[in-house]
Amino acid sequence: MIYFDNAATTLYKPRSVAKAMEAAMLSCANPGRSGHAPAMRAAETVYRCRETAAEMFHLPCPEQVVFTSNATHALNIAIKSVLHGGGHAVVSGYEHNSVVRPLEAMKEQGVCYTVAQSGLFCPEQAVQAVQEALRSDTRCVILNHISNVFGFVLPLKEIDALCAQRQIALIVDVSQSAGLLDVDASELESARFLCMPGHKSLYGPQGTGLLLVCKAEGFYSLMQGGTGSESLNLSQPDFLPDALESGTLNVPGIAGLREGLLFVKKQGTAALAQHKRELVEQAAQGLGSIPGVRVFCGPAERHQGLISFAAQGQTPAELCARLAQRGICLRDGLHCSPLAHRSAGTLPEGTCRVSFSCFNTRREVSELVFAVKKVLTSA
């Protein structure tokens, strides 16, 4: 099997991830609830991961790292913290449904939003579209750092500067860029939250995510309950991370996530990005040479991690199903991001997406190109 669906989740992890999870399952109890050794071991495991994440993403305090179950969970906390009580938001034309659906659900609470639609691989247009969409009542801008459909690297620094000038909160979805690009929270003046899963380019397990709280103000907890702190207080604690973490944490998952973070640190984001970039360029060149195939690829500074393509005469669903029969795993369709397909003009059928990890090879890309040629010529 050749696995090219890493933008959904990395299937192959460093061995240290599974080992750490097994060790935690066998030795860790509930952190912060007791003073015995298994509970203290769990608390230490959790805190070490907070420290590692804070260091990697340049947060001054480990308590600003909040554990979530995935990026969707983190985004819901971020969006509902900033827009609790109503207000206007601006989103890019490349947002995932984990952004759009919470905004739609909040319309009854007085929330509205504008889509700043722009052309594919056109960062200047993206900045201009956001600027034109801002209103006097805009409370936040929500930006997908790298499109999960096309690998388009959106102009984060420029939009951050725009938001800082207007004193508007910025929420950044770094689901595809965390672990691949150098995401530095200290350099983002307007960022309130950075949201990410643990199971993509951080090489952690499914069921893990991180909410990085860049500015410790205005939290909105989706749930309230036991935190192991201030138990006499019947109200939710108002300090981090307890304000946003209720109930038992996924300690085995957090243990595995820390090993994923350490793996990324050891490899280096520059080396990981270069490896993926080489595979993107090889795939773009090979697939683009096939008659009837349209490849969506931008210049190196605007494109990273994955590539989308479509073929005449076969829908993405049909093509990916036939490739799956040959043991090649891609993703077809809209990839939970209809806004991105509207921006690129690929509605309603979407695209075939090839997304890479550090464990993919040039030989696998060559086999993909060969298989696509075979499938299309035998159709």
| pLDDT per position as a tens digit, 16-34 | 999 999 999 999 999 988 9
Per-residue confidence (pLDDT) for residue 52, from 0 to 100: 98
What CA–CA distance (Å, rounded) separates 8 from 175?
10
How far the first Cα of the chain sits from its last, in Å, is 22
pTM over 0.95: yes
Task: Please report the domains of the chain, with CATH numbers, ordered by start residue.
Answer: 2-10+268-377 (3.90.1150.10)
User: Mean of the pLDDT values across residues 356-364?
Assistant: 98
pLDDT at residue 97 greater than cutoff 90: yes
pLDDT of residue 130 exceeding 90, the answer is yes
- Give 291-343 pLDDT, tens digit per residue: 999 999 999 999 999 999 999 999 999 999 999 999 999 999 999 999 999 99
| Mean predicted confidence (pLDDT) in 239-268 | 97
pLDDT at residue 218 in the model: 81
What order of strands is seen across the sheet that includes strand 331-333? 293-296, 306-311, 351-355, 331-333
Instruction: Decide if pLDDT at 379 tops 80.
Output: no
Angle of CA points 39, 59, 270, to nearest 5°: 105
Work out the mean pLDDT of the chain and round it to a whole number: 97
The half-sphere exposure of 225 on its side-chain side, counting CA atoms within 13 A, is 7
